[in-house]
Every structure is written in structure tokens, then in C-alpha cells.
Amino acid sequence: MRLHRLDITAFGPFGDSQTVDFDALSAAGLFLLHGPTGAGKTSVLDAVCYALYGAVPGARQSGQGTTLRSDHAAAGTRTQVTLDLTVAGRRLEITRLPPWERPKKRGTGTTLDKAQSLLREYDATAGAWKDLSRSHQEMGEEITQLLGMSREQFCQVVLLPQGDFARFLRADAEARGKLLGRLFDTHRFAAVEKRLAERRRTTEARVREGDAALLADAHRMQQAAGDAMELPELAPGEPGLARAVLTAAAVARSTAREQLTVARCRLTAAESAHADAEAELHRIREVARLQQRHAEARERAERLAQRAGAHQEAQARMERGRKAQTVAPALELREAADAGHRRAAAAEARARAALPAEFADAGAAGLAAAARRAAEELGGLESARRAERRLAEVVAERAAADRQERADDDVLQEAEAWLAGWETFRSALQARVDTAQEAAGQAERLALRLEPARLRLAAARVRDARAADTEEARGRALASAEAAADAKDHWLALKEQRLNGIAAELAASLADGEPCAVCGATEHPSPARKVAGHVDREAEERALGEHQAAEEQRARDERRLGAVREELAAATAEAGDTPTARLAEEAGELEAELARARRDASTLHAAQQELLRAEQERERRLTDRREAELRATSRLALRESLDREKAALEAELAQARGAAGTVAARAAQLERRTALLTEAADAARAAEDSAERLKDADGRLAEAAFRAGFDTPGAASAALLDDAAHRELQRRLDAWHTAEAAVRAVLVEADTAAAAHQPPADLAAARAAEAAADRRSREAVSARDAADRRCAELDRLSARAETGIRRLAPLREEYDRVARLAALTAGTSADNERRMRLESYVLAARLEQVAAAATVRLRRMSSGRYTLVHSDDRAGRGRSGLGLHVVDAWTGRERDTATLSGGETFFASLALALGLADVVTDEAGGVRLDTLFIDEGFGSLDDQTLDEVLDVLDSLRERDRSVGIVSHVADLRRRVHAQLEVVKGRSGSAVRLRGAG
């Protein structure tokens, strides 16, 4: 990174615009930034840091926002910082304008402008600057990525603060660790320690869960095995638990298998006895069945002998029915002929009853002739029907013409009346449209005014709320600051008390025969004793934790106060000083006017539509009037034609109707007469035919009965059997024959006859014996199944336990490995001899690099006398590996850096700062830092040492660096020719460039 140019306006002590040409200063390699106290030397460095990161160095962070503004600046001049630099091969220009409380352009008071930022890059090809970003966040990310350093690292590496490194030289391990941790970002290694500890706890919990599951399976195996298994008295996590469970399970499985063998032998004997009992029961049942079968057959034989007479009578009736079956066709034919004759006679009587009296004695031929004459007369009326239909149409057309004439007269009168008031109606509608259009335009104008008024009202409400929040946040910030100070005083007091009694605390760990950690003696004749009120390490650490918590709370409250102030300033800039009530009143008035305008404008569409409908109605009325006039002209000729046709049709119909009222009535009379005559003729012919068929059927029936052996047709009819009677009689005969055959078959069976001569079978005793054998068999099966289930359950649980143990083995190995790593990184493992944590180990390596880099320059500054070395020794109970000592070549001894004099401390801290800058630069990715600043401390050096220090700084040019010394030491003005002088005055400070090419 190389600085080229810095422009400052109204920043810090500089009231107007000032320019610093770093290119001219850097040409000499070493330049001096000097001026009287309070002139603004450090403010130049603040401006560089503010341009890069939007904030000044940490010690001066309270100078943010509007407080960065110079008190000497004119009211209309805004604070601005512009930095031109090259970083990572890119030429950039950064402009930052902090928040500014400027006078209002109108009225009195002030308003707050928000902070602004601009990042530009020079395009060598186009020869012009191009904008990259105006976002604070994007610019911050871009600059941090290019530099590879945070603001804290930049302030520590580029703006070398000598006071900080003097404290770093004398600091304890904890303080060094905090600074190095921020610079080298070693929190990830602390995160590794935490992650390993968490993994150790997680895997330990999982191992315990696995052992608990194993013990649960062991309890289930004990329940399944009963008294055949004893559980080991071990807790989850204890060694040997898995082996003990597997051993107990193996013993239980062996015992269960022996019990299963005994149960199977008992089951075999019980099943054999049950089979014998079942065979005997089956034999007894068979004897009892045969004896019962013989007894039932004898009973059925006796019942058949009693029904023999009824059987012979049924056979005789069946024989008569078979003979009568030959006469059945003739009987059916005679019955059908008789029924047909009765139906035909009844139909003839009904048809003759509907005829006039003149046809009462007419035969079938006479009735048919009369029907033909009536049909001929009906055919002659078709022409009269057509004339009658046409007459109805003519009358309807004449009536329709009259109705149309009346309707047209109404249309003409209504159209004339409506058109007479058209102009007045149209003018009124047009006036409504014009009024609504004017209201719509007014509503648009009011809407444009209402939105800004609402925004100002919302901002005013936020302004009022944040004004109250500011006071509350200020009170909390003051209270948390006081609490943090009290906590710090309490912690320091406890720390002092503990240090006063540290001898007693160290003596508490002494043991006879073991060396003392302080003097190394193995005898402890008079160890110190703890006095009343002694403060131990835990109490001190609790106080330190309370102090840190209070500091964090103070920081949060201060950030909250800053945020509330920013929100208040933004809201005030938006709303101004106008009271909220006044803004609400103005917004309410605008909303009311807008509502009225919108209400009036809402009728525009309806008015336009009504005007359009009215114009359409006028066109329709004009069209209706023209059409009515045309229809009136054509109706005169149509009326005359219809009248002539009506007279001719009426004359023709009068002749065709005769005595009937209409042609349709006359036609209906003829149609009914023709139908009745035709029906009567057909009925008479049917009656004559049925009488002939009945006579023929009587002759055939008498002949068939005689041939079948019956004296009369009635006797044959009585002997007939219907289908149901025949089937029932046949069923009874078949059943008698079947039962007789079955009884004879049973009585001749050899087994049944033999069983009938044996004693009666005792079935109940055989059943009782079989039930007892079956009960004993089921009990043996249950015992065998229980033993089988016990073996299966033990095998299943044992297999699951073995699977769980195998699955748990890698987890147990992982737990052992993670536990060793966690203990090693936390410094609690015996393998970690120095009890050094991982983060401390990394920081120790970085400190060793810093000490090596610093020693190169320290030897030159001290004429080869001093060398910085890093120590891994543990300081009390603090961190180990962060010790820093100085080796004095004159004495050959190593001593504490706190023993250095003031001048020696300065050039040692300067060497340390330069060495740290080199290491941090390399750590950040090799970003070149071509411009460095060293702030004060040169006044403590003698002339020779000052020359040595300046030689070292001048040697930095070998790496193409330029170094700016910030100092008010007069002697440096003679030794460093390139100078940037800061001159203070009553109207503000100014910068002057001297001796630079």
C-alpha cells in the first residue's frame, strides 16, 4: 500500500481545505511530521484511517460522526476526507463525508445530512476515474479484502503507536495473548479447542448411552432367564462392562438350552399317551355309532310297514292319472274354443250397443257397407279444412295489422315527446362530466402533496420517540459506565489482596520431600499460612468475569446510545423542527381534501356512461320514428287484400259445414260413425267363427275319452293330475321305495349286526380319558414353547448386545482419541509438558517470529548489545509460551524487558513494532506496506542512539518503503530534511511541505 495524496476539509483542527502530497514526502524515504502540541499531527493519521475504514483509531473512536467536524470550519462548509492510494496494484480514490448538522436552507435551525462515501478507481486505458461504489458496507469489505487487515491491525502495523508497544514489552502473558490474538486472528484455534472439548463431551455421552442400552438388554435377558443369570455390578462407562454382560448371557443361554431339552422329552411322552387315548376314543365312538345305526334302522322298518296301505292307494291314483293324460289335449282344445266363443260374443254385444237403432238387426255384411259410405263422405272434407285454417290466418293477420297501427301511433307520440327535451337533458349531463373531471385533476394534485406530508409526520413521530429514547439510553450508558468502573476497582482490589497473600497460596501445595516451586528446597520448616480474608484465584477470576461483563454491558449501552442518536438525527433531518401536532393537522387537512376530491371524481365514469347512454337513446328514438312511418304506409294495401280473401273463404265454408258448427266438428262426426261401423262388422264375423270352432272341439273330446276307457269326458277330467300333484305323488312313492331299500341295506351290514350284539359303548369314560391326555399334552407343549421362546429371546438379546458392543467399539476408540486430543489442546494432558493450550502454542510461534524479526533491527539500534528472545516458561498460573526477554550481550545474561531504561524501552518497542509489522504483513497475504508512520517517543533517545534508530528507519527504503516520523523533537528537524509541518492558529491548523522533492 502506497499513499499518494490526502485532502482534508473541516476535519479535526483543520478549518478549511488542506492537502498532503505523500508522493513528494515519500521520495525522500524518511520524512518528519512535526508541529506544536495540539496542532493536529495525529489528526493527519486519523484522516488516513477514517478514509480507509470510516472510523478513527480505537483510542479516539469517540470522535465519530458530527464530532469529527472542525470547530473552526465555516457554517456552510462540509467535512470531507479524500485519500488517493495504490493497493494491490490498483489506484483508488476514497472520499468520505461524515454526518453533518447543517443550517436549514429555509427558516431557522439545523438539519442532519447522512454520511456519504465514494470509491473510485483510475482506469489507465481510458485515462479517467470510474465510480465503483457508494455503499459504506461494500467499500468496507473491498478495502479490508485489498489490505488484508482489519482496522485494529492497520492501526497497529501502519500507524505504529509506540506507547502500545512499550506496554506490550512490559505486559504479562495474558495481555500479550489478547493483543497477538487480535492481530493474528487466532480465535479459530480457540474454536478448535472448544470444538474438541464439545466432541469429547458428545462422544462420552454417546458411549454412556451405548453402555446404558447394553445394561438395558442385560436386564431384559435377566427377566427372560429368571434365576439363571446374574447381572454384573458395573455402571455405564466402566471398563469390563461389555465382557461381563456377554459372559452372563452365555451362562444364561446354556441353562435355557438344557431346560428346553427336558421339556422336549416330556412333550414326546405326553404326545404318545394322547395318541393312545385318541385311538381308544375313536374305537368307542365307532361302536356307539354302529349300535345307534342298527337301532334306527329297525325303527324305520316298523314305520314303513305301518304305511304300506297308503302306498298302494297312491300307486293306483298314479295309474289313473297316466290314462287321463291322453285325453288332456282334447280337453285343453275344448276349453280354449269355449273361452274364445264367449269373448267374441261379448265383443259383438258391446259393438252393437254403440250403434244407432237402425243397425240393430244388420248382419256383418250390412255393417261393412255402411262403414264404407261414411269413409267416402269424410274424404270430401279435406278441402274445407284447408279453407278453414286459411280463414283463421287471415283474421289473425288483420288483427295484427290493427295492433301494429296502435303500437306505431304510441311510438311516434313517445319519440316526439322525448326528442323535444333532448338539448336540455344533454346540457345537464355534460355539466356533470365537466365537474367530475375537474375534481379528478384536483385529487391527483392533492395526492402528490399528501405523501411527503405523511413521510414528514412519520419522521416527526420517530423524532419524538427517539428524543425520549436518547435520554433513557444516555442514563443507561452513564449507569453502565459507573458499574464497569466499580467492577474494575473491585477486581483490582481483590487482585491486590491475592498478591499480598500469594505466599500462603503457594505454600498450600507444598509436601514434605517434594521441591518448592519457588526456591527448589525439599524442606519446608515454616510455610506461610493463610490469613483471614484471603482471596483465592476463583474469587479473583469471578471478579474479573464481573468486570468483563460490566465492560461488555457498557459497550452495548454506548452502541445503543449512538444508534439512537443516529436515528434521532435522521428523523430530525426528515421532519425538521415543525411540531408533530402541526404536521398531523396538515396531513389530516390534505387527507380530508383528497377524500372530498376523490368522492366528487368518483362520479366521472357514471356521468360519462349516462351521457353515452342518452346519446344512444336519442339515436334509437329517431330510428323508431322512421320505421313506424314506413310501416303505416305499407299497412293500407295489406288491409284491403285481407278483407277480399276473408269474404271468399266464409262462403266456401258455409256450404261444407252443413248443420255442424265447423268443418272440424262435421269431420269428427263422420270419423266416429266410420269407426263404430267397422268395429261392429269385425265383431260379428269373429262371433260366427268362434261358434263353429266350439262345436268341432266338443266332438273330438267325446271320442278321446271313450278310447282312454272313461265313460264320460267329465270322468277323464276328474282323473287328471296337475304338475304339482303329480310331482308330490311321485315324490311320496320314490321316498317310500328309497327308505325301504336303505333299511334293508343297514340291517344286512355285517359290522352293524356285529356291533348290535356287543355290550353298550361307554363313550363318556373314553372322552374323559382323552381329555386328560390332551390336557397333559398341551401343558407339555406350553412348557416346551416357553423354553423355546426363552432360548430365542436370549439368543436375540445376546446377538443385539454383541452387535451393540461391536458398533460401540469404534465410538469408544473415537472417544479415547478425541479425549486425548482435547486434553492435549487444552493443556491438561500429561503429554503436554508445558501445559500449553493450542491457541497459546500458535501465539508463541508468532511471538517467536516477531522477536526474531525485531532482533535484526534492535541489534543495530543498540549497537549489537540487545537481543529479543521468546520464552516458553510458564509464568505462575498464567499462559505459558508468551514470555519475552532481552539478552544483554555486555553481561551475557537474560533479563526481563521491564528492566530497560526509557530510551532503551523506546527503541526496543520500535524494533518490536517494525518486526510485528513485517510478520503481520506476511500473515495478511504479503500485501506491501510502502508507507509507515511512527508516532512519538524519539525525545527519550541520546544523540548516538537517535542516529542508530534513524539509520535503521532509513534502511527501510531498501524494501521501497517510506517512513513518516510523528514527533515534535527539535533535533529531528536537522536530521530529517523532508518535513510536513502542522501549524496551528486561531482560525485552525494548516499543513506546510518543506524540503521534499
Confidence of residue 184 (pLDDT cuts 50, 70, 90): low
Residue-level pLDDT at 926: 47
pLDDT: is 927 or 158 the higher one? 158
Contact 744, 255 (CB under 8 A): no
> To the nearest whole number, what is the mean pLDDT of the chain?
77
pLDDT of res. 855: 86
- What burial class does residue 813 get, using C-beta atoms within 10 Å of its C-beta: 0-12 exposed, 13-18 middle, 19+ buried? exposed
CB atoms near residue 40 (< 10 Å): 26
Residue with cell 367530475: 436
Please name which of 763, 776, 768, 766 lies closest in space to residue 273, comparing C-alpha atoms: 776
SS (H, E, C) 931-991: EEEEECCHHHCCHHHHHHHHHHHHHHHHHCCEEEEECCCCHHHHHCCEEEEEECCCCCCEE
For 619-678, how does the pLDDT look when each residue is reduced to its tens digit (9 = 90+)?
A: 887 888 888 777 777 777 777 777 787 787 777 667 666 666 676 776 777 777 777 777
pLDDT of res. 606: 84
Average pLDDT over every residue of 133-142: 86
What per-residue confidence (pLDDT) applies to 874?
Answer: 60
Is the pLDDT reported for residue 847 higher than 90? no
Q: What's the farthest any 2 CA atoms get from each other in the chain?
A: 179
The confidence score (pLDDT) of residue 96 equals 93
Q: 832 falls in which pLDDT band (50, 70, 90)? A: low
Residues with Cβ within 8 Å of 501's Cβ and at least 6 positions away in sequence, in order, are 530, 531, 534, 535
Per-residue pLDDT tens for 380-389?
666 777 777 7
| Distance of alpha carbon 943 from alpha carbon 389, whole angstroms | 147
Examine the pLDDT at 861 and tell me if it is beyond 80.
Answer: no
Predicted pLDDT of residue 58: 63
- Give the whole-angstrom CA distance, residue 627 versus residue 635: 13
Grouping H, G, I as helix, E, B as strand and the rest as coil, residue 408 is helix
Question: Looking at per-residue confidence, does 186 or 423 come out higher?
Answer: 423
Question: How many CB atoms neighbour CB 806 within 10 A?
Answer: 10
Please determine, for residue 66, whether its predicted confidence score (pLDDT) is greater than 50. Answer: no
Residue 610, CB-side half-sphere exposure with 13 Å CA sphere: 14
Amino acid at 74: A
Q: For residue 94, what pLDDT band results from cuts at 50, 70 and 90? A: very high
- Each residue's pLDDT tens digit, 779-789: 888 877 777 87
Q: Which residues are registered as beta bridge partners of 119?
A: 94, 133
What pLDDT does 71 receive? Answer: 84
pLDDT above 80 for 958: no
Q: HEC string of 184-224?
A: HCCHHHHHHHHHHHHHHHHHHHHHHHHHHHHHHHHHHHHHH
**Most trustworthy range by pLDDT among 15-19, 532-536, 737-741, 893-897:** 15-19
Reported as a single tens digit per residue, the pLDDT across 515-558 is: 765 566 666 666 666 656 667 778 878 888 888 888 888 888 88
pTM of the model: 0.40
Amino acid 80: pLDDT: 93
pLDDT in tens, 304-338: 777 777 777 777 777 777 777 777 777 778 778 78
SS3 274: helix
